[in-house]
Chains A and B, each alone.
Chain A
Amino acid sequence: MEPQLLFFIGKGGVGKSTTSALTSVHLASHPHKTLLVSMDPAHNQRDIFDQNFSEKPQRVSENLMIKEVDTDFWIEKYLKETTDQIKETYKYESAFNLQNYFNVLQFSPGLEEYALLLAFEDTLKKYGDQDFIVFDMAPTALTLRFFSLPFITLIWLDELLTLRSQIYKKKEIISKIKIAGREIEQDRVKAKLQSLIGNYEQLQQQFLSDTTKVNLVMNNDKLSFSEAFRIRQKLSDISIIIDRIVINKLQQDENTAEIEQEFKEQKIGRFPLAANGLSGYAALTEYIKANKNAFQET
Chain B
Amino acid sequence: MTRFLKWLKAWIIDAFKITDEVMRGKAVETIEHEVAELDNIFGILVLGAFIGIPSPPIHITMELLPLMDKELNIMLDKVLTAHDPLGHLFSVLGID
- Asked if A103 is at the interface (CB within 8 A of a chain B CB), the reply is no
| In the complex, chain B residues 20-49 whose Cβ is within 8 Å of any chain A Cβ | 24-25, 27-28, 31-32, 34-35, 38-39, 41-42, 45-46, 49
- Asked if B13 is at the interface (CB within 8 A of a chain A CB), the reply is no
Q: How far is the CA of A111 from the CA of B67 in the complex (A)?
A: 20
- Asked if A164 is at the interface (CB within 8 A of a chain B CB), the reply is yes
- Asked if A277 is at the interface (CB within 8 A of a chain B CB), the reply is no
- Which 7 residue pairs of A and B lie closest in terms of their CB atoms, listed nearest first? A85-B66, A156-B56, A108-B58, A114-B59, A174-B28, A188-B67, A89-B66
Stretch with Cβ within 8 A of B (4 or more), from A22-30, A60-68, A165-173: A165-173
A-B interface contact total, Cβ < 8 Å: 85
Shortest B4–chain A CB gap in Å is 31
In the complex the two chains form, is B59's CB within 8 Å of A174's CB?
A: no
Residues of A within 8 A of B (CB): 78-79, 82, 85-86, 88-90, 93, 101, 105, 108-111, 114, 149, 152-153, 156-157, 160, 163-164, 166-167, 170-171, 173-174, 177-178, 188-189, 192-193, 196
In the complex the two chains form, is B42's CB within 8 Å of A174's CB?
A: no
Q: How far is the CA of A139 from the CA of B27 in the complex (A)?
A: 59
CB contact under 8 A between A177 and B28, given known A82-B62, A82-B66, A189-B67: yes
From B39, B57, B69, B71, A156 is in contact (CB under 8 Å) with: B57
Which residue of A has the minimal Cβ distance to B39? A167
Residues of B within 8 A of A (CB): 24-25, 27-28, 31-32, 34-35, 38-39, 41-42, 45-46, 49-50, 56-60, 62-69, 71-72
Q: How far is the CA of A31 from the CA of B35 in the complex (A)?
A: 61
In the complex the two chains form, is A152's CB within 8 Å of B57's CB?
A: yes
A167 neighbours in B (Cβ, 8 Å): 35, 38-39, 42
Q: How far is the CA of A101 from the CA of B50 in the complex (A)?
A: 8
Known A78-B59, A85-B66, A174-B31; further 14 A-B contacts with Cβ < 8 A: A88-B66, A90-B69, A105-B58, A105-B62, A111-B58, A156-B56, A156-B60, A160-B46, A163-B41, A163-B45, A167-B39, A173-B28, A178-B28, A189-B67
In the complex the two chains form, is A166's CB within 8 Å of B31's CB?
A: no
From B32, B41, B59, B68, A111 is in contact (CB under 8 Å) with: B59
B64 neighbours in A (Cβ, 8 Å): 189, 192-193
- 11 A-B pairs, CB-CB below 8 angstroms? A86-B65, A93-B69, A101-B50, A110-B58, A110-B59, A114-B57, A153-B59, A156-B60, A157-B60, A170-B35, A178-B25
Q: How far is the CA of A114 from the CA of B59 in the complex (A)?
A: 7
In the complex the two chains form, is B58's CB within 8 Å of A114's CB?
A: yes
Please indicate which of the listed interface residues B27, B35, B50 has the most CB atoms of chain A within 10 Å of its own CB.
Answer: B35
A188 neighbours in B (Cβ, 8 Å): 67
Q: How far is the CA of A86 from the CA of B47 in the complex (A)?
A: 14
